[in-house]
Amino acid sequence: MSVEVRNLSFSYGKREVLSNISFRAEAGELIAVMGPNGAGKSTLFRCILGLSPKYDGEIYIGGQEARRIGIAKLARHVAYIPQSHSPVFNFSVFDIVLMGTTSQVSAVNIPGRKQVDLANTVLKDLGIEDLKHRGYMQISGGERQLTMIARALAQRANILIMDEPTSNLDYGNQLRILSTIKNLTNEGYTIIVSTHNPDHALFFSDKVLALSNGRIVNHGSSVDVISNDLIKQLYDVDVEVKSLYESNVRFCIPKSVTDT
């Protein structure tokens, strides 16, 4: 299912946060949204999720104008995975995942056998079924992120919006989460993820949307967009974007390292 943003602008009072944002994400694509703190990434996500609907411009979800879909139906198509989640109660991993099915039942009903089976299936598919009876607050950061991804999959959404999914994770868990995300795009999910790490965007994304001060400064394939100049413009640091010998794999090295 596609996401198309056309000429999107948004303001908090008189302060413009997004200005004339346009891009399209197709099914099976992973788009990395890059930019410094305050660039407008979170506001962009809130607009797509229907949480900040008073924007100028248009957002289309699967060809339908998002504001005409309604927030309840939108939840059947778009799921959000935050960078951190701290429930007020130590729910089990299974209960957290089962919460993702609430958009499939009416307000007066509780999840039934169909929803329970779905929750068990996504836990198994992500390889975390052994955690189902563990308390969410008692598992590792990487396991929590996998749990939140499982909850989004239980929501049966085709579009996943992820806010810095590798934030505060160790190196191993970062790679596990990124590999899981890439596998989901291979299964046809549309994924839009924010990241501050250009290497993650180079290794795993199909396209990059680079934002600064609420405006697009570049947009296109990750290999074409991520450059020395872009990283300098976004983060005010000097890097060299290199390629592995006889390979299309590219990565960033801080200039301070290459100069030593």
* Domains along the sequence of the chain with CATH: 1-77+157-226 (3.40.50.300), 87-156 (no CATH)
Q: Per-residue confidence at 89, pLDDT binned at 50, 70, 90?
A: confident
Measured between alpha carbons, how far is 43 from 52 in angstroms, rounded to an integer?
8
How far is the C-alpha of 99 from the C-alpha of 151, rounded, in Å? 7
Whether pLDDT at 222 is above 70: yes
Using the predicted structure, report yes or no on whether residue 103 has a pLDDT greater than 60: yes
Determine the pLDDT at residue 257.
62
Query: Tell me, what amino acid is at 141?
Result: G
Whole-number Å distance between alpha carbons of 202 and 210: 13
The confidence score (pLDDT) of residue 72 equals 80
Percent of all residues in the chain with a pLDDT value above 70, rounded to a whole number: 95
- In angstroms, the CA 131 to CA 118 distance is 16
What digits encode the pLDDT tens for the residues 61-88? 999 999 998 888 888 899 999 887 777 7
pLDDT given at position 101: 87
Mean pLDDT of 214-238: 95
Q: How far apart are CA 211 and CA 35, in angstroms?
A: 5
Percent above pLDDT 90 for the chain: 73
Neighbour order of strands in the sheet with 15-25 = 15-25, 3-12, 56-61, 64-65
Q: Residue 242, Cβ neighbours under 10 Å: how many? A: 12
Read off the pLDDT of each residue in 196-218 and give the average, rounded to a whole number: 96
pLDDT band of 258, cuts 50, 70, 90: low
pLDDT tens sequence across 49-63: 999 999 999 999 999
Region 117-126 average pLDDT? 93
pLDDT at residue 210 in the model: 98
